[in-house]
Amino acid sequence: MAKAPARHPASHWGRVAAGVLVAWVLILGAIIGIGKLLMITKNGNGNVLGDRTIPHWFAAHRTPSLTRWSEIFSTLGATQAILIAGVATCVAFLAFTRSWRPVAFVAVVMFGELAAFLAAAAVVMRPRPDVSHLDTHLPTSAYPSGHEAATCCLYVAIAILVIGHFRGWWRYLFLIPAIVMPVMVALSRLYRGEHHPTDILASLLFAALWLTATTLLIKPNDVRRGPAADRPRIAVPGRKDVTARR
């Protein structure tokens, strides 16, 4: 019986790249479309889903202690902190898996998020909520929230990799930061008067769609773990070769 022809790595990754690009364009188009619809109501400052009342409520309940906490979580969702955590994740999984697939997954997820955020912000150009802002000289517009999208993409991507590559109950603990960090960053950005609730929801929608697409296309957990690759294979009489246990 003839063997099936081996799949050419270059053509395989070419198809993956094309699929990722198409998914990115479609998701970006949907996010921009939602943003343009939100701009119809009072130039983006209407009260859809509490877009007006919720930022005003947060602004009216500010305290020195809450302001310090909001600054901490807002900083954790900023570009520098996300970049450091993303690079550390890539290095750790490259060392563990000895495969570039998890690295490619994290890189595509994060660069795709950044590019989509910048594109959507430039096209929609939604103003910030009409409350006093605790951050100054912000380079982009309100929609969507780059802090929220980046935080969600990074910490959920880490959870996907850890749960997929490790065994043991402790791996599910990584779901905690994947949930808590996006929630805390979202609250901090609303508290500081930088985003409407729908800016946050749009970022969560983008992250959910983008992570789903990249996970299905790149398959970041479809690799042999590093330690297993080093184990010698031994022959057992009457059985197929098995990997020796250490």
pLDDT tens digits for range 100-153: 899 999 999 999 999 999 999 999 999 999 898 888 877 788 999 999 999 999
Interatomic CA distance for residues 169 and 57, integer angstroms: 40
Range of lowest pLDDT (44-58, 77-91, 215-229) = 215-229
Number of C-beta neighbours around residue 17 at 10 A: 14
pLDDT computed for residue 232 by the predictor: 38
Q: What is the pLDDT of residue 224?
A: 54
Query: CA end-to-end span of the chain, whole Å?
Result: 37
| Residues 44, 126 contacting (CB under 8 angstroms) | yes
Mean pLDDT of the chain: 86
Taking phi over 0 as left and psi of -120 to 50 as alpha, with beta for the rest, 238 belongs to left
* The predicted structure's pLDDT at residue 237: 46
Helix, strand or coil, per DSSP, at residue 190:
helix
Q: What is the mean pLDDT of residues 16-31?
A: 95
pTM for this model (two decimals)? 0.83
The whole-angstrom separation of Cα 244 and Cα 146 is 47
Going by pLDDT thresholds of 50, 70 and 90, the confidence category of residue 239 is very low
- Is residue 32 a contact partner of residue 121, using CB atoms and an 8 Å limit? no
Q: For residues 246 and 243, give the distance between their C-alpha atoms in angstroms, rounded to a whole number.
A: 9
Report the pLDDT value the prediction gives residue 106, as an integer from 0 to 100.
Answer: 95
pLDDT, greater one: 118 or 241: 118
CB 99 within 8 A of CB 223: yes
